[in-house]
């Protein structure tokens, strides 16, 4: 491990309402692979965005090659030798590999782009990385793994000294990950500083020299990878104080009937052989890190995405769910994590939104029975304690918490017995959160069965009667609330299954 190349000191960054980075430290040496870890929302990406000039910091110092620096955009960072390989690939599919690598800094001969030189230079880059990609191939014809290699080639073509990998392995196959690691080791040999962001604990052990852990926007600590165990890292990631009491024991009687049974469900890469049961009156928490396949599982159950195999039973009877229409027909309601896109029609009134899923019931002849519609909407406004001047209010004018209630009302009007809440409190302030929690508890006590997907550990522990944990498209565990702890959940959520 060489001398220090980069040091970030006391980095502070706030967004309206969020203290995203609270005096964070980070340092990186030449010839080192340094992991940056933490739960979703711990501040890893924000820190890297501050480093590469996408965000400006509120205070703190960045010292790079012995000098204090401040980048105003990624271009400046690039020119200084700091590049980032994004999780989402930034490739122009219709151009060739070489054209992509040199986009924005093409070799010219007069006004003509010198494509031949670009191809030659690309070949040299690929040789240096010991990979075989045809530079004249169209980018969209490559696999995701190969595209990532091109991103890396593009990065090193900048003569960079620091490369940041933001969850590079998320979309790669085992073989591709091996290739990636070979490249990373090569780059380390070439004395570059490498920052590696990943959730996969096993990868961290294999490829990195040191680990820095962040939590809730703060710096927790830095460990030498070979001297620490997975447990040490997990403890650092979750060691936060829990403000709200977790649920002490399940409120569901052991003999409660199974209302929904999902058996060996497969749907693409993100849902592999997932089985679980949901009991009447139960809140079943789905925990896991980002990209664990929880939303994908819910969408497959709901019929929003196609499934390859697997059976779904409702109240013991096997049912065919091939579209959301089928799911709604069987009494399943889905509350999307992205309310604005999938949950409500924001430019319409509360009334119109409430009856959207079951307009058929509110039709007299060929006309919509407005009076009946309004009555239903008003019933649920009262019942869910939605704060609005009237049922005619446009949904866009409501707060996040109240919008969420409209979505809930929509499915209650439809008389759904099984409700899937996907990140029910995302983007909702604390007070409204509590109301949503109360509402969910009440719904459960009234005999509705709830699946709650949440990335917030506290929420999972506070609300769930039982917890299913997923990791990379597979179910890695199931815990009763009585035995669940943050450490146990995080352990299962980061398990690398071979």
Partner 1 sequence: MEKTKKKSVLSLFSNQKYIVILVVILLAAIFMIASADFRKYTTFVTLLDMSYYYVLMGIGVAFPLITGGVDLSIGTGMVCYALVGGYLVRNAGVPVIVGILVALLFGIGIGALNGVLVAVMDLPAFLATLCTCMITRGLGSLLTFKSTVPWPTDKQPGGWFHTIFKITLANNTKIPLGFLWVIILTIIMAFVLKHTKFGRYVIAIGSNKEATILSGINVKFFHIMAYVVCGLFAGLAAIPYASAIPTIQPGTGAGVELDAIGGAIVGGVSATGGSGSIEGTFFGVYVICLLKVGLPFIGLQANWQQVITGAILIGTVMIDIVKKRRAVATGQAVA
Residues that bind partner 1 (CB under 8 A): 73-75, 78, 89-95, 99, 103-104, 106, 108, 111-113, 115, 139-144, 147
- What proportions of the chain, in percent to the nearest 5, are helix, strand and coil? 35, 30, 35
> Buried b vs exposed e over 237-246: b needs ≥16 C-beta within 10 Å?
bbeeeeeeeb
Complex with partner 1: residue 92 or 371, whichever CB lies closer: 92
The helices-and-strands tally (H runs, E runs) of the chain is 16, 24
Complex with partner 1: residue 92 or 242, whichever CB lies closer: 92
Complex with partner 1: residue 7 or 86, whichever CB lies closer: 86
Least distance CB 115 / partner 1 (angstroms): 7
Least distance CB 145 / partner 1 (angstroms): 11
Q: Are the C-beta atoms of 467 and 285 separated by less than 8 Å?
A: yes
**Contacts with 284 (C-beta within 8 Å, 6 or more apart), sequence order:** 276, 278, 449, 450, 451, 452, 464, 465, 466, 467, 468
Q: Which residues pair with 271 in a beta bridge?
A: 267
Complex with partner 1: residue 99 or 494, whichever CB lies closer: 99
Complex with partner 1: residue 166 or 373, whichever CB lies closer: 166
Q: Select from 300, 299, 92, 50 the least CA-distant residue to 195.
A: 50
Complex with partner 1: residue 75 or 130, whichever CB lies closer: 75
Complex with partner 1: residue 253 or 306, whichever CB lies closer: 306
Tokens of 213: 């852990």
Least distance CB 204 / partner 1 (angstroms): 27
Least distance CB 183 / partner 1 (angstroms): 20
Least distance CB 52 / partner 1 (angstroms): 11
Complex with partner 1: residue 109 or 245, whichever CB lies closer: 109
Q: Select from 478, 70, 445 the least CA-distant residue to 280.
A: 445
Q: Are the C-beta atoms of 48 and 197 separated by less than 8 Å?
A: yes
Question: What is d(CA 213, CA 37) in angstroms, rounded to the nearest whole number?
Answer: 5
Least distance CB 86 / partner 1 (angstroms): 8
Least distance CB 77 / partner 1 (angstroms): 11
Q: Are the C-beta atoms of 204 and 173 separated by less than 8 Å?
A: no
Q: Are the C-beta atoms of 52 and 195 separated by less than 8 Å?
A: no
Least distance CB 94 / partner 1 (angstroms): 4
Complex with partner 1: residue 111 or 241, whichever CB lies closer: 111
Q: Which residues pair with 214 in a beta bridge?
A: 219
Question: Residue 338 phi/psi, 5° resolution?
Answer: -105, 85
Question: What is d(CA 153, CA 186) in angstroms, rounded to the nearest whole number?
Answer: 13
Among all chains, which residue has been given the structure tokens 């151009």? Answer: 95
Complex with partner 1: residue 172 or 394, whichever CB lies closer: 172
Least distance CB 105 / partner 1 (angstroms): 8
Q: Are the C-beta atoms of 238 and 487 separated by less than 8 Å?
A: yes
Q: Select from 422, 449, 217 the least CA-distant residue to 300.
A: 422
Least distance CB 339 / partner 1 (angstroms): 24
Complex with partner 1: residue 33 or 85, whichever CB lies closer: 85
Complex with partner 1: residue 158 or 372, whichever CB lies closer: 158
Question: What is d(CA 437, CA 187) in angstroms, rounded to the nearest whole number?
Answer: 49
Least distance CB 141 / partner 1 (angstroms): 6
Complex with partner 1: residue 144 or 497, whichever CB lies closer: 144
Question: What is d(CA 96, CA 121) in angstroms, rounded to the nearest whole number?
Answer: 14
Radius of gyration of the CA atoms of the chain, in A: 25
Least distance CB 293 / partner 1 (angstroms): 18
Q: Select from 496, 456, 457 the least CA-distant residue to 200.
A: 496
Tokens of 77: 């960072």
Q: Are the C-beta atoms of 481 and 247 separated by less than 8 Å?
A: yes
Question: What is d(CA 269, CA 470) in angstroms, rounded to the nearest whole number?
Answer: 13
Q: Select from 253, 189, 241, 188 the least CA-distant residue to 35.
A: 188
Least distance CB 140 / partner 1 (angstroms): 6
Question: What is d(CA 179, CA 364) in angstroms, rounded to the nearest whole number?
Answer: 64
């Amino acid at each position: 491990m060489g001398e220090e190349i980069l040091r970030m000191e006391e980095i502070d960054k706030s967004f309206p309402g969020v203290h995203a980075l609270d005096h964070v430290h980070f340092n990186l040496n030449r010839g080192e692979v340094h992991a940056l870890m933490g739960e979703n929302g711990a501040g890893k990406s924000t820190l890297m965005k501050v480093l590469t000039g996408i965000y400006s910091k509120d205070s703190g110092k960045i010292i790079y090659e012995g000098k204090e620096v401040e980048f105003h955009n990624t271009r400046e960072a690039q020119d200084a030798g700091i590049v980032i390989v994004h999780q989402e690939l930034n490739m122009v599919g219709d151009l060739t590999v070489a054209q992509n690598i040199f986009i924005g800094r093409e070799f010219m001969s007069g006004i003509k782009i010198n494509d031949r030189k670009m191809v030659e230079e690309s070949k040299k880059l690929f040789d240096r990385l010991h990979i075989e990609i045809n530079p004249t191939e169209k980018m969209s014809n490559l696999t995701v793994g190969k595209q990532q290699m091109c991103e890396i080639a593009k990065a090193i073509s900048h003569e960079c000294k620091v490369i940041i990998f933001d969850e590079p392995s998320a979309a790669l196959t085992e073989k591709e990950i091996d290739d990636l690691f070979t490249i990373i080791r090569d780059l380390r040999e070439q004395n570059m500083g490498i920052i590696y962001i990943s959730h996969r604990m096993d990868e961290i052990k294999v490829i990195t020299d040191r680990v820095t852990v962040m939590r809730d926007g703060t710096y927790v600590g830095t460990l030498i990878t070979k001297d620490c165990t997975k447990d040490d890292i997990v403890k650092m990631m979750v060691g936060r104080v829990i403000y709200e009491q977790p649920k002490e024991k399940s409120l569901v009687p052991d003999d409660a009937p199974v209302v929904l049974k999902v058996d060996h469900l497969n749907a693409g890469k993100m849902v592999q052989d997932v089985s679980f049961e949901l009991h009447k009156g139960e809140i079943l928490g789905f925990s896991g890190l980002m990209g664990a396949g929880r939303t994908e599982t819910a969408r497959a159950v709901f019929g929003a995405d196609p499934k390859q195999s697997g059976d779904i039973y409702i109240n013991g009877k096997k049912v065919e769910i091939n579209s959301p229409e089928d799911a709604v027909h069987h009494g399943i309601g889905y509350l999307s994590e992205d309310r604005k896109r999938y949950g409500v029609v924001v430019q319409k009134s509360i009334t119109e939104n409430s009856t959207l899923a079951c307009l058929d019931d509110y039709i007299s002849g060929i006309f919509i029975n407005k009076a009946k519609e309004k009555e239903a909407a008003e019933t649920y406004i009262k019942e869910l304690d939605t704060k609005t001047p009237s049922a005619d209010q446009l949904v866009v004018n409501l707060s996040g918490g109240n919008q969420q209630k409209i979505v809930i009302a929509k499915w209650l009007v439809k008389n759904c017995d099984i409700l899937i809440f996907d990140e029910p409190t995302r983007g909702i302030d604390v007070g409204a959160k509590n109301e949503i929690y109360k509402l969910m508890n009440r719904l459960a006590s009234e005999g509705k069965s709830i699946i709650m997907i949440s990335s917030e550990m506290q929420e999972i522990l506070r609300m769930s009667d039982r917890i299913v944990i997923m990791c990379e498209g597979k179910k890695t565990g199931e815990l009763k609330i009585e035995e669940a702890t943050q450490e146990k959940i995080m352990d299962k959520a980061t398990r690398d299954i071979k």
